[in-house]
Structure 1
Amino acid sequence: MDELKKLEEFKKIVEGSDNIVFFGGAGVSTESNIPDFRSASGLYSTSQKTSYPPEVMLSHSFFIKHPEEFYEFYKSKMVYRDAKPNAAHIALAKLEEQGKLKAVITQNIDGLHQAAGSKNVLELHGSIHRNYCMKCGEHYDLDYVMDSKELVPKCEKCGGIVRPDVVLYEESLDMDVLYKSIHYVSNADVLIVGGTSLVVYPAAGLVDYYKGGKLILINKTSTPYDYKANIVIHDSIGKVLSYVVG
């Protein structure tokens, strides 16, 4: 099937369903100029000048032992305050508004789906926009963390360290968010997977819970799940979703 036929088939599937779930990864946000992790221009490839690999610097144990170095890396490499929703985010928000899309499940922490207008967003890896004191639990927004005079932000109430509500390496996913995601995927009529290499578990394993026969994969490179998909499109996710949603 050529690309245009795939797009038309995809469009028909979307038009005929009101129970669609979208599951996305870093590739959804690269079109908002936020680097992904594993591509040639991704975070893992461009962070070789640091003393430690990104996986180490973004781990729970590193954060506890070296909060200054963690925050130096986090603030410069993980937070993009000027990023705006792209065509993919906007198309998905439109699909939800039409009553077709039931949930967005994302591995991203940038909050761009909500910025585009999506309401039911399940953030598997947390969000840079939520931060809390590790000592008393007081909540803080992103500006508080980024504009803190100290490199490591401290709680105004008790002086404890404020950390981002993101899932670091060595930490478990929020089980409530994971179970909700499984519920939506397993009950979906159509599952659209986009911008993810589907190699990071347990998130990638969500696809295994899909029981339907309308699995669409949109990613610039091949994934281990391509053989399971009904339609595979290797193209810009923003371009594809804009065409399909209209």
Structure 2
Amino acid sequence: MDSNIEICTNLIGKAKNILVLTGAGISTESGIKDFRSKTGVYQMAPEYVLSLDYFFQHPAEFYRFAMEHLYHPDAIPNKGHEILAKWEVQGKVQHIITQNIDGLHQKGGSKNVIEFHGTMKTSSCLHCGKIYLTEEMVSRIQTMADFYVCSYCKTKREMDRYIKPDVVLFGDAGEWFSTKGFNTIIDLIDQADCILVLGTSLKVTPFSTFPQYRRKDVPLIIINKADTPYDHEAGTYVIHDSIGESLTQIDRKLCGSVDVFER
């Protein structure tokens, strides 16, 4: 472990354009449940509950499940989020691409964040595009029977006026799933001189394919408690431990080596 920390510290110290890929593992350290573990969200209900079909068939039930299990307004960023924000200010981390919908990277101070699976911060009318803050949706749930129907547009078919959380559901396609969005991400990966993967097992496509697009000489650093399909590839360095603790150790070593950033 110590040798891997040393190697990763050296790689991160030399890097000037780090691209970070994050998954549920960084948010679990802020008390948010992941999806597929033994204590994850999918132990409460099948994946189908978070599908576009289920949303249209049972909008009220969908919202109640989402608000209980996906909306975490009181969660606060942990050391992992804070260190990534610090490295962004220092000019080392250029972009974060996250599977998470909790907004903790932004709360932690990061600015250049691509929310690949969307966000629970807002919901939008599928017809007119009217944006509702999630706090407003919570109030609507408590006071209106058809809270999920937009109050502003007048199209005839009620289902066309459904207000959908701005997250990517199964059977759905978000902003970054378009050709333009995907190509933007591939370009960012191609420009990076280090790829840092945090808290994802890299098993869910298309997010799992992103490390494949890095240049051959670019190191891949993975900090995740579970194995990933990339663990034994050339140029890959793996730490199976806490993200917050691992990044804290690396950051302390970087701070203790005045010339690390200048090598």
Question: Aligned partners of 2:232 and 2:174: how far apart in 1?
Answer: 27
Report the alpha carbon displacement of residue 157 of structure 1 after superposing the two structures with TM.
2.1
Question: Aligned partners of 1:128 and 1:32: how far apart in 2?
Answer: 16
Residue in structure 1 matched with residue 244 of structure 2 by the alignment: 238
Question: Aligned partners of 2:151 and 2:61: how far apart in 1?
Answer: 22
Question: Aligned partners of 1:144 and 1:177: how far apart in 2?
Answer: 29
Residue in structure 2 matched with residue 198 of structure 1 by the alignment: 202
Question: Aligned partners of 1:221 and 1:137: how far apart in 2?
Answer: 39
Q: Deviations over 1:36-86 (max 9, x none)?
A: 0111211122x0xx5xx1x11110111111101111111111111111111
Report the alpha carbon displacement of residue 106 of structure 1 after superposing the two structures with TM.
0.2
Report the alpha carbon displacement of residue 202 of structure 1 after superposing the two structures with TM.
0.7
Alignment equivalent of 1:92, drawn from 84, 87, 90: 84
Other structure's SS at 1:226 match = coil
8 Å CA contact retained: 1:130, 1:142: yes
8 Å CA contact retained: 1:213, 1:230: no
The equivalences for 1:28-107 within 5 A come to: 28-45=26-43, 47=44, 50=45, 53=46, 55-107=47-99
Question: Aligned partners of 1:130 and 1:245: how far apart in 2?
Answer: 34
Do residues 150 (structure 1) and 138 (structure 2) align?
Answer: no
Other structure's SS at 2:6 match = helix
Residue in structure 2 matched with residue 5 of structure 1 by the alignment: 3
8 Å CA contact retained: 1:124, 1:177: no
Question: Aligned partners of 1:213 and 1:187: how far apart in 2?
Answer: 10
The equivalences for 1:164-179 within 5 A come to: 164-174=165-175, 175=178, 176-179=180-183
One-letter amino acid of the structure 2 residue matched with residue 190 of structure 1: C
Report the alpha carbon displacement of residue 244 of structure 1 after superposing the two structures with TM.
1.4
TM-score, reference length from structure 1? 0.92
One-letter amino acid of the structure 1 residue matched with residue 144 of structure 2: E
Report the alpha carbon displacement of residue 130 of structure 1 after superposing the two structures with TM.
2.4
Alignment equivalent of 1:114, drawn from 93, 106, 120: 106
Structure 2: gaps of 5 or more residues: 155-160, 253-263
8 Å CA contact retained: 1:122, 1:177: no
Report the alpha carbon displacement of residue 146 of structure 1 after superposing the two structures with TM.
2.0
Report the alpha carbon displacement of residue 197 of structure 1 after superposing the two structures with TM.
1.1
Report the alpha carbon displacement of residue 35 of structure 1 after superposing the two structures with TM.
0.4
Question: Aligned partners of 1:12 and 1:233: how far apart in 2?
Answer: 14
Identity %: 41
Q: Which deviates further from its counterpart, 79-88 or 137-146? A: 137-146
One-letter amino acid of the structure 1 residue matched with residue 75 of structure 2: A
Q: Deviations over 1:154-207 (max 9, x none)?
A: 434237332111100011242244322221112210000110011100110111
One-letter amino acid of the structure 2 residue matched with residue 157 of structure 1: Y
Residue in structure 1 matched with residue 232 of structure 2 by the alignment: 227
Other structure's SS at 2:83 match = helix
Question: Aligned partners of 1:37 and 1:143: how far apart in 2?
Answer: 23
Structure 1: gaps of 5 or more residues: none
Other structure's SS at 1:89 match = helix
8 Å CA contact retained: 2:199, 2:243: yes
Alpha-carbon RMSD: 1.5
Question: Aligned partners of 1:223 and 1:75: how far apart in 2?
Answer: 30
Q: May I ask how many residue pairs the two structures share in their alignment?
A: 238
